[in-house]
Structures are given as structure tokens and as C-alpha cells.
């Protein structure tokens, strides 16, 4: 695969992931993060399994369960499960135009892991580009939290007045940013472990995603079942809630994993995680546009500047190749 195609696939992943985050923001309005983690795979996982089996047979799938692939697989599943859970949880606390830029810091953690493991050659341009991206994310986080604190102060009630309904906005903003940051750490980790799996030339991207994401969805589904039993709720209704949010989350999962994940890990397999990971992190630009247009979220100047730094960092990476 040529370098140009790898770059295009990385940007395709960014567009898909940015779009899916906006979809998820709508889907989690009436759904808890655990159920959302399970529901997002209802469309994507069956299609990934069928594609992996149909295109490559069982050989590529079985390669994932030999040593040391199964070790990296388990770690990748744990990381993506925690990353997705924290990301969806964050969307219940803060706007997607804030959450997504913070989660986009994941290339920093992937790059650090690659440096320590000495799996890929990480040039100074890649490090600079990654740090510029991280700077943009940090700027968005700082100014978003500062604006939240300022709004809370402006909206505070007079003494003896009715309790301010926005009194928890500061807490929600802080918690949302922390959750987004945790999601970035675990997403960076799952990309690193997936990169180790793809060192095996006989493992195909679609097969790897079908098993990795499928195990995550199955685990989340089991937790939903256990929770329903403990709380004496209808298990079937908990697994397949008849509400529009179920379809929205499933659609978001299909966009994120079929379009985003397959494109991204195909790029990782051929041009390396050190390059494709930072390039894919321009998704905040997509979120800013879609969130402002469809969700009517307010976009501040610091957010625009932060997204600008993220895009500049990605351009630095592209020009260094």
C-alpha cells in the first residue's frame, strides 16, 4: 500500500470517528454508558464477523488465539472497553465539541508506548506533530473548563433565591474532561496492542476488529444481563430496548467501526501506528462542524484555536513523511 493511500485512510477514519461521536451524543441522552457500550455493536459486530469469515475464512480468526497474539488481544479488549465506556460516559456530562478534542489526545499515549517498545521509528517530526496536537487538546480542555466556571459564577443566584439549576455544571465539566482524558489513555493503549497483533502477517484487520470489538460488546452485554438480574428487570428489554436511541447507537457503532476502524487499522498495518494515529486525530474538526450545525453547540474562540493546533499538528506529520 502506498503512503498516500495510508494517509487517506487515516483521514477517512478521522471523519468517521468524528461523525460517530456526534451520533453517540444523541444516542446516550436516554441510555446509560454500559448499555450504550453494548448497543453500539449490534450492527457492526455481525457485519465484521461475516466479512472476516467470508473474506479470509477461519484461518485469520484463529491466528488471534495463538501465543502471543491472545495476550495482546485480551489487553486490547480491556483497553477499548474502558476507552469506549469512559467516552460515552463523558458525553453524558459535557458537549461533544469538548469531549472529542480531549479524547483526541490518544496519539500521545500511543507514541509514548511505541517509543518505549521500540516497535517503530518515531522521528522528531512525529513527536513535534503529536505534541502540537496535544497542545490543542489541552487548550480546549482548559478554556472550556474556565468558561464553565465563569458561567456558573454569572448564573449563581442571589442569597435566599431559588437554588441554581446549573450548580453542578462545574462538577460535570471537570468530570467530563477527566473521563475524556481516561478514554484517550485507553484508546491509545488499544491501538498499541492492536499494532502488536498486526505484526503477525496472517492476521487481517477485519478479523482482528471482529474478535476484539466482539469480545468487548459480549462482555458489556453480559454485564447488562447481570445488572438486570440483580435489579430484577426484564433481561430481554434491557438487551434490546425498543427506543430510537438503540438504533442511533447501533448506527454510530457501524460508522465508527466499519468505516473508521477498518480504515484506520488498515493504515496502521501498512504505514505504522506512529504515523496513522496522529493523522486520525483531526476528528475534533469534524465534530466542531457537525456539533455546531446539528446539535447547536456553541463554539468558542479557544475551541477554534485548539482545533487549529490539532489540524496543524496533523499537517506537520503529513509533511514529515
Q: What is residue 301's predicted lDDT score, i.e. its pLDDT?
A: 78
Q: How large is the average pLDDT for residues 280-299? A: 75
Longest dimension (CA), the chain: 70
| Spatial distance between the Cα atoms of 26 and 24, rounded to a whole number of angstroms | 5
pLDDT of residue 280: 84
In 10 A of CB 207, how many CB atoms? Answer: 26
Alpha-carbon gap, residue 269 to 282, rounded angstroms: 20
34-76 pLDDT tens trace: 999 999 999 999 999 999 999 998 888 999 999 999 999 999 9
pLDDT of residue 155: 53
Segment among 49-63, 127-141, 154-168 with least mean pLDDT? 154-168
Q: What is the pLDDT of residues 104-114, one digit of tens each?
A: 788 888 888 88
Q: Which of the pair, 134 or 163, is modelled with greater confidence?
A: 134
What per-residue confidence (pLDDT) applies to 161? 47
Specify the pLDDT at position 185: 95
8-state DSSP, 161: S
% of the chain exceeding 90 in pLDDT: 46
* Cell 473474506 belongs to residue: 55
Torsion of CA 131, 132, 138, 140, to 10 degrees: -160
Helix (H) / strand (E) containing 58: helix 44-62
Cβ-based burial of 78 (10 A; exposed 0-12, middle 13-18, buried ≥19): middle
Tell me how far CA of residue 178 lies from CA of 26, 100, 211, 254, 314, in angstroms.
Answer: 21, 12, 29, 26, 24
Neighbours of 223 (CB within 10 A): 16
Using the predicted structure, report yes or no on whether residue 288 has a pLDDT greater than 80: no
Grouping H, G, I as helix, E, B as strand and the rest as coil, residue 42 is coil
Q: Count the alpha carbons within 13 Å of 77 in the hemisphere toward its beta carbon.
A: 19
Residue 158 has pLDDT above 50, yes or no: no
Amino acid at each position: 500500500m502506498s503512503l498516500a493511500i495510508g494517509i487517506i485512510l487515516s483521514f477517512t477514519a478521522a471523519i468517521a470517528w468524528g461523525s460517530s461521536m456526534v451520533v453517540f451524543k444523541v444516542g446516550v441522552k436516554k441510555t446509560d454508558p454500559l448499555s450504550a457500550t453494548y448497543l453500539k455493536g449490534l450492527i457492526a459486530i455481525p457485519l465484521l464477523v461475516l466479512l472476516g469469515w467470508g473474506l479470509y475464512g477461519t484461518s485469520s480468526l484463529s491466528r488471534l488465539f495463538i501465543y502471543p497474539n491472545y495476550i495482546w488481544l485480551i489487553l486490547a479488549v480491556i483497553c477499548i472497553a474502558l476507552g469506549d465506556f469512559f467516552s460515552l460516559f463523558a458525553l453524558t456530562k459535557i458537549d461533544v465539541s469538548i469531549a472529542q478534542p480531549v479524547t483526541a489526545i490518544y496519539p500521545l499515549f500511543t507514541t509514548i508506548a511505541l517509543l518505549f517498545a521500540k516497535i517503530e521509528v518515531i522521528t522528531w517530526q512525529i513527536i513535534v506533530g503529536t505534541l502540537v496536537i496535544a497542545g490543542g487538546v489541552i487548550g480546549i480542555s482548559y478554556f472550556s473548563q474556565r468558561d464553565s466556571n465563569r458561567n456558573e459564577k454569572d448564573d449563581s443566584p442571589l442569597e435566599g433565591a431559588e437554588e441554581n439549576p446549573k450548580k453542578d455544571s462545574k462538577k460535570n465539566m471537570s468530570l467530563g474532561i477527566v473521563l475524556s482524558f481516561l478514554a484517550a489513555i485507553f484508546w491509545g493503549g488499544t491501538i498499541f496492542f492492536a499494532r502488536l497483533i498486526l505484526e503477525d502477517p496472517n492476521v487481517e484487520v477485519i478479523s482482528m476488529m471482529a474478535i476484539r470489538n466482539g469480545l468487548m460488546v459480549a462482555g458489556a452485554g453480559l454485564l447488562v444481563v447481570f445488572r438486570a438480574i440483580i435489579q430484577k428487570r426484564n433481561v430481554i428489554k434491557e438487551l434490546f430496548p425498543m427506543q430510537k436511541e438503540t438504533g442511533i447507537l447501533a448506527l454510530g457503532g457501524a460508522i465508527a467501526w466499519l468505516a473508521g476502524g477498518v480504515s484506520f487499522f488498515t493504515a496502521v498495518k501498512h504505514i505504522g501506528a506512529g504515523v496513522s494515529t496522529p493523522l486520525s486525530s483531526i476528528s475534533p474538526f469534524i465534530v466542531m462542524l457537525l456539533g455546531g450545525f446539528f446539535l447547536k453547540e456553541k463554539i468558542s474562540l479557544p475551541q477554534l484555536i485548539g482545533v487549529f493546533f490539532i489540524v496543524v499538528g496533523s499537517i506537520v506529520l503529513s509533511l514529515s513523511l
